[in-house]
Amino acid sequence: MSDDCIFCKIIAGDIPCSRVYEDDHVLAFNDINPKARVHVLVVPKVHFDRLHESDEVEVGMLGRILVGVGKVASANDITGSGYRVQFNQGRGAGQEVFHLHAHVMSA
Chain contacts with Zn ion (rule: CB under 5 A): 2, 5, 7-8, 47, 99
Please choose, from the candidates 28, 4, 25, 26, the residue with its C-alpha nearest in 3D space to the C-alpha of residue 14: 4
102: partner contacted, choices Zn ion, ligand 5GP, none (Cβ within 5-8 A by kind): none
Q: How far apart are CA 58 and CA 44, in angstroms?
A: 11
- Candidates 12, 32, 51, 59: give the one binding ligand 5GP (CB under 6 A): 32
Q: Residue 42 has what DSSP assignment?
A: E
Residues that bind ligand 5GP (rule: CB under 6 A) add up to a total of 14
Active site residue 103: no
